[in-house]
Structure 1
């Protein structure tokens, strides 16, 4: 798509936004229902497209993508009227007689840029929130997941006119053109490197942003943990989508006393969940492309592999891999892995582990496995991270009742449910001052009486 075509879409959407059509909550509800109906209509095609891009099974695609989007739509349909209402707040006595209220208002034309690892979920989920809040939207999915982009383009064009929602395909050239345009809000999910560029471009227009990034999310296993259950849940969270999940446990940080037992439990769970031949398991996905395949393989130190380690360049599959005797200086600990490789590191004391985690970039997620409430409270209170779980992995993002987002280097802002509506809304603070009474104390000339009254009202 050319620069001229992209500019035309943005200008057309801005004109449409200012007609006021999207301010009508009924209009938004009908749009969400149409989107819901279309997703159900093309569910099989969506699953097939995700399978082609990432090798996911239909079950995993529904569990982690389509189903979550449908859940978000259902949530918004149930709550959008309530979320859209003005909220009256207390008015100071000094403003007597007035009504103060907060009015949720859409930003206008928003840009949603999504990644390839969950191409349907991370594109349509924020779109649902943007529509519910009353915005128009330009959607730009990743060029690395072309099959999913194609079915989303078909779905969106069937549901919406371009003046309301438009999907732009392409690569870096299109991304650059989009970021040069003036949007009213930008929502980006992807790498920290690109996130910095998005923020830099947004600053030229003073456009607010939400950045959903990533990082090395630690999985702490404390010595009181149920190791069998911990291993089962860690293996699920780490190797889901072949490790290509922004909130996957990036590494295990465990008490040295229980490391060997934990490793044995993890090895058993890998075999149980993925069989002894994961490379030929139809329910186990693949790496998105050769570039990322080679990068991940380069992080594997064969001398430290205790499980897995094999790969197939023809199918872009890498076995669920476990590495022991890893240090923070190893290559695998220098970047977010974003693949099916799980290093195990140890600590001597929990305080040492907390200090080390806090010395690193703030992760998007943190997981703590323990049977001690005091330990769980200590870790979740003292460590800085976006969100996480106690005695589980991943599942904190699968609810519309809590916002999901990063912190520090792992991003800013959040979405899902009410938080998603708030992200795409500006809350106007308004005072409705009545005309039948006008207190004179604020006007000049000031007097000692005025001063006494001001002190009385503002204390």
Structure 2
């Protein structure tokens, strides 16, 4: 029965899109304003749901979820009219008289599959892009955040156009059924393993996809260039915030591991321990400022990483495990085996390996030896090293001297490369992600380019060669040729 309902909902979305109602500026603005009303009216309910599902404190919930949605929707409303305007395209003079423009049109019916670690913002933020571009949308929230999923299912129809934006709940079976349908665009946030499944399913219908995945995001800590007592403490605070602050390390853009010169390792470890205590207290499991691991399966996965004797021997801070509460302390490990699962797979939990190098320049080769990360976080004042990192590594993005903040910048594209993702969004990039840029060219009937038509001869060959190589000269030669012939 559930699958029959899904098919019915999809049919209505197709009918609504064909009606053309979602293409108007007025409809798009109405939906974005309604979305702002939704998160405003239900802020306390969202705080409760996020705390229930993930243990998030209201401050973290507003910073990473509700605030993100408000910022994104407000930004889109401010710029949407300009985004929708056709852009002028340059046309070679050889085609004079002619004009060209690029028209952004919606793809059609879009599927958005959300993630459990940010179950509100990673659904509603891409939804803002899809609405802004004029699509109809089916949203599939993560079943691993059940209260947030239920909230979206029961609340969105009361605010947004129920004929154009729908929510379907369910687990793996529902997801598989959805992926078997034909969509005009799929937007997925989640793991690399499921991303491959989504991409394979989309290929059956040649459906364009955006995959927001993850990867082992490194922080490069160049303390040789950062000598200031104050600056080194800022570095430590931002690393602790970027590792354990977002959902206790369960974030695709969170710091996965650190690279530092061996001579600075102990100093850095001591600083990190200091700020872990300052942020989460002597007993982090009693803190209300750190999330728990989402469920038993993920808890056991992270716990398994520590069961390797060589890995557990590298623990220099933390390591406490509370099985009953599914909690693991913020844990620092020094030089764990590079071939361990801890170092070959995305951690997605509260464990922070530190790898020491003889020289910080070796970090380039170290990063390049693995899959392309979603983000690289270099802490350095060395301009030469900065240039090397940008030019000699490949990643979704690079954020110097901070962590996580790039996610909040609507003026910058957010997305991965290689195994860390496919496509980009945020701000205008979200609008573009959910739009097809259609080229529109218009010509007059005169002059007619006779050399483009058979029968071929040497004159026409020379004419076409010149026209391709020298556009302005080609136009002059064309006019001269027309006079002669």
Q: Secondary structure at the match of 2:372?
A: coil
Contact 1:65 1:120 (C-alpha < 8 Å) held by counterparts: yes
Contact 1:13 1:162 (C-alpha < 8 Å) held by counterparts: no
Cα distance between partner residues in 2 of 1:47 and 1:331:
35
Deviation at 1:312, TM superposition (A): 2.1
Q: How does 1:36-435 map to 2 (within 5 A)?
A: 36-222=36-222, 223-225=224-226, 226-240=231-245, 241-300=247-306, 301-435=311-445
Deviation at 1:154, TM superposition (A): 2.2
Contact 2:258 2:353 (C-alpha < 8 Å) held by counterparts: yes
Higher mean displacement: 289-298 or 127-136: 289-298
Cα distance between partner residues in 2 of 1:359 and 1:238:
22
Cα distance between partner residues in 1 of 2:329 and 2:379:
25
Contact 2:361 2:385 (C-alpha < 8 Å) held by counterparts: no
Contact 1:220 1:253 (C-alpha < 8 Å) held by counterparts: yes
Q: Larger C-alpha radius of gyration, 1 or 2?
A: 2
Contact 1:327 1:345 (C-alpha < 8 Å) held by counterparts: no
Query: How far does the alpha carbon of each residue in 1:272-327 deviate from its partner, in whole angstroms, 9 at most, with x for none?
Result: 11111110111221110111111112222443222211122333222111112323
Q: Cα 1:359–1:273, aligned 2, differ >3 Å: closer, same or farther?
A: same
Contact 2:105 2:438 (C-alpha < 8 Å) held by counterparts: yes
Deviation at 1:201, TM superposition (A): 0.4
Higher mean displacement: 175-184 or 240-249: 240-249
Number of paired residues?
A: 459
Deviation at 1:153, TM superposition (A): 1.5
Q: Cα 1:380–1:450, aligned 2, differ >3 Å: closer, same or farther?
A: closer
Cα distance between partner residues in 1 of 2:340 and 2:465:
64
Contact 1:365 1:385 (C-alpha < 8 Å) held by counterparts: yes
Contact 1:94 1:457 (C-alpha < 8 Å) held by counterparts: yes
Deviation at 1:183, TM superposition (A): 0.2
Contact 1:55 1:284 (C-alpha < 8 Å) held by counterparts: yes
Cα distance between partner residues in 2 of 1:449 and 1:383:
50
Query: How far does the alpha carbon of each residue in 1:190-248 deviate from its partner, in whole angstroms, 9 at most, with x for none?
Result: 00000000000000000011111111111111232343221111000000111111111
Deviation at 1:434, TM superposition (A): 2.4
Please give the TM-score of this superposition, normalised by the length of structure 1.
0.97
Higher mean displacement: 27-36 or 327-336: 327-336
Contact 1:188 1:210 (C-alpha < 8 Å) held by counterparts: yes
Contact 2:111 2:140 (C-alpha < 8 Å) held by counterparts: yes
Query: How far does the alpha carbon of each residue in 1:397-440 deviate from its partner, in whole angstroms, 9 at most, with x for none?
Result: 11111110001011110000011111001101111112465444
Q: Secondary structure at the match of 1:258?
A: helix
Q: Cα 1:448–1:36, aligned 2, differ >3 Å: closer, same or farther?
A: same
Higher mean displacement: 273-282 or 449-458: 449-458
Cα distance between partner residues in 1 of 2:60 and 2:286:
17
Higher mean displacement: 430-439 or 275-284: 430-439
Unaligned runs of 5+ in 1: none
Higher mean displacement: 135-144 or 216-225: 216-225
Q: Secondary structure at the match of 1:216?
A: coil
Cα distance between partner residues in 2 of 1:353 and 1:441:
58
Displacement over 6 Å in runs of 4+: none
Contact 1:93 1:457 (C-alpha < 8 Å) held by counterparts: no
Cα distance between partner residues in 2 of 1:450 and 1:197:
52
* Aligned-CA RMSD value: 1.5
Query: How far does the alpha carbon of each residue in 1:91-124 deviate from its partner, in whole angstroms, 9 at most, with x for none?
Result: 1112111111111011000100111001101000
Higher mean displacement: 372-381 or 116-125: 372-381
Please give the TM-score of this superposition, normalised by the length of structure 2.
0.91
2:467 aligned residue: 457
Q: Secondary structure at the match of 1:392?
A: coil
Higher mean displacement: 147-156 or 348-357: 348-357
Cα distance between partner residues in 2 of 1:167 and 1:416:
22
